[in-house]
Structure 1
């Protein structure tokens, strides 16, 4: 049944009539207010930290005052109300998480349709936050109207990558060879990661191009180790050789084609192969989700068979666990959520689910086949009658092939405004594989993934953080 609201006309209003609503100040309120008003005062905007600096940031006073209009326009007098004037006096600052009660009381009726309202806003402690008088034109006719459902807005309310970066920064810098950082994006990402203490960089590439990129971003890299190599394939080969010699413990892609770097990494002789299959995992910070979403494989294995998918699933679980997920929920995707012999990916998904159930894939809960909607959305899963520990809240998605994974990751990045980081798993060392178009933050987040995965692989457990972590290691 549709909810409606009915106003109180000027003729129906009586002095002493009172109405109130409650509202909790949220991070999203401050971000939206900054967009609408153009006020980007840093005292009133969440920062980029994991908790947005919510304890220190102050809610704009005009946002607080605007809550009075919600009572006047929605409750009393209600629909049809128009402002004439508003006076406000602010008694106390409001912060994220404060629960506010907004009360209006009719204190005077003037010549129709004018009425005067006293407004007060108090916080959860009962302290007066704001007080004032509102002069309005009350509606002259009775109106009953349906409650409006506003369109949904996507606002990135939690920076999940920031938490990982802060955690990884507590570990010793990872000596990382950066292959061809010859443009502003790749060199800027390396600079940011170095400044945050995630990596100790060694550059391989064309010295002239690297120097030009450094001048473009006004970076001083005079103290960085630089191995000159103008040919990209040769630079990739030298990076792999450094790892094999123990001179580097991670590889980061710069302004080099992925296939050129990966050709050196996956070589049977002289590459970085191990006993398992090498695969790529995207980690995406999606604004509409409450945790990082992992997607694999969207960059290396083009059309993996069943046994290749076993390694792809295991690699993705391992990275998710390294990032702090105790028991990742893995949804193996297909076009449908039922087994269909004419769709081979549904058969693979069912087998992978059973293999995990029997311990052939470890560390996560695996279910499939699942379609994208019922893997991510609980209502979609309920509608289709799917009852599982994964359906509706998967945090790891395994795609049928590279094409599907690449399109899914890029749709989330460019349409849903997700931020993406990427890591190659299953090689001797972590390989940070990002798009050449990715920004500095994508490379910073990829370095954090590499740090945390390296620790997990070495210690057999996720890094929980410690003030003494660097000293201890």
Structure 2
């Protein structure tokens, strides 16, 4: 086991205990995305359905020694058609997960968010980074750093609820949710502090359920107990934040990339709030990160399957 990233390794091991999730893979037309899907399949995390130009996918597999024996194909001539066909398969109930291949994120998400043919629900769609930070004792969620640029209060409510549901759904218990800002006091000069306080009140009134919320909290007193103690901030969340809710995409993107490039964190990624979870990987992701993304999605898909069967 990679001791620096043992939290993701534990998630991958846990996912192998469940049934592989039927996963529609949109346009896996480069070595990285195709190999990532096949390695996740070989690890019994997913059961892939490969959507895209079949001849091209088979040629890539042959060139790079990737075994496609027994895999299911849905032929589509190009990336746009593959995205549309992948979403249509999910709408038809022929997949539990959607996975991005080598097409652009915007191309896939345009089909996902289409008001008529997409995968929208009553929830706002949002992204969660599942961070394995070396030296930090717990898994960290950062949300939303990839989908919602400047979310309003109603959108933030959904962003928080999506992350809580994922945390609980993959078996991590009741999360401590830190609503981040630049300071830990409420001030009209920084609107995100007001929204943080409002989100905490919404949780008190049952508009957000399943997690312990506190905010506004600055990053230091959200994750470091000593920083919280020095500032005189009590409660179960301060210093022990597990889900970090950022004010906007810019802040979240910078936070996530700081952890990735300065702290050697692994950042798995998943999109929530659609009809099914969406595995949203990057071409720069390591094999372990891709596997962790698939593992989180597979565990969550199994949890949703059990819940639907109740």
Shorter-chain TM range is over 0.9
Q: Pick from 233, 246, 253: which aligns with 1:406?
A: 253
Alignment of 1:172-211 (within 5 A): 172-211=19-58
**1:244–1:184 distance in 2 versus 1, CA, 3 Å:** same
Q: Pick from 345, 358, 365: which aligns with 2:212?
A: 365
Higher helix share: 2
Partner Cα distance (2:188, 2:30) in 1: 48
Alignment of 1:230-379 (within 5 A): 230-379=77-226
The structural deviation recorded for 1:215 is 3.2
The structural deviation recorded for 1:405 is 1.0
Deviations 1:11-56 (A, max 9, x none): xxxxxxxxxxxxxxxxxxxxxxxxxxxxxxxxxxxx34xxx6xxxx
Partner Cα distance (2:118, 2:287) in 1: 28
The structural deviation recorded for 1:275 is 1.2
The structural deviation recorded for 1:216 is 4.4
Deviations 1:110-137 (A, max 9, x none): xxxxxxxxxxxxxxxxxxxxxxxxxxxx
**1:216–1:439 distance in 2 versus 1, CA, 3 Å:** farther
Query: SS at 2:138's partner residue?
Result: coil
Q: TM-score, normalised by structure 2?
A: 0.95
Query: SS at 2:221's partner residue?
Result: helix
Contact 1:279 1:297 in 2 (8 A): yes
Contact 1:317 1:364 in 2 (8 A): yes
Deviations 1:155-213 (A, max 9, x none): x2x51112111111121111111111112221111111101111111111233542343
The structural deviation recorded for 1:266 is 1.1
Query: SS at 1:282's partner residue?
Result: strand
Deviations 1:209-247 (A, max 9, x none): 423432343112142122232321221110000011122
Q: TM-score, normalised by structure 1?
A: 0.63
Q: Quote the residue 2:240 is aligned against.
A: 393
The structural deviation recorded for 1:356 is 1.1
Structure 2 unmatched runs, 5+: none
Partner Cα distance (1:349, 1:325) in 2: 23
Query: SS at 2:256's partner residue?
Result: helix
The structural deviation recorded for 1:460 is 4.1
Query: SS at 1:404's partner residue?
Result: helix
Contact 1:279 1:424 in 2 (8 A): yes
Partner Cα distance (1:231, 1:242) in 2: 16
Query: SS at 1:423's partner residue?
Result: strand
Structure 1 unmatched runs, 5+: 1-46, 53-155, 462-473
The structural deviation recorded for 1:436 is 2.0
The structural deviation recorded for 1:317 is 0.5
Deviations 1:224-283 (A, max 9, x none): 122232321221110000011122221111111111111111111111111111111110
Query: SS at 2:57's partner residue?
Result: helix
Partner Cα distance (1:429, 1:217) in 2: 31
Determine whether 1:424 maps to 2:271. Answer: yes
Query: SS at 1:386's partner residue?
Result: coil
Q: Pick from 258, 269, 282: which aligns with 1:435?
A: 282
Greater relative CO (CA pairs within 8 A, separation 6+): 2
Q: Quote the residue 1:104 is aligned against.
A: none
Partner Cα distance (1:377, 1:310) in 2: 25
Contact 1:254 1:436 in 2 (8 A): no
Contact 1:185 1:437 in 2 (8 A): no
Partner Cα distance (1:367, 1:231) in 2: 46
The number of residues matched between the two structures is 308
Query: SS at 1:159's partner residue?
Result: helix
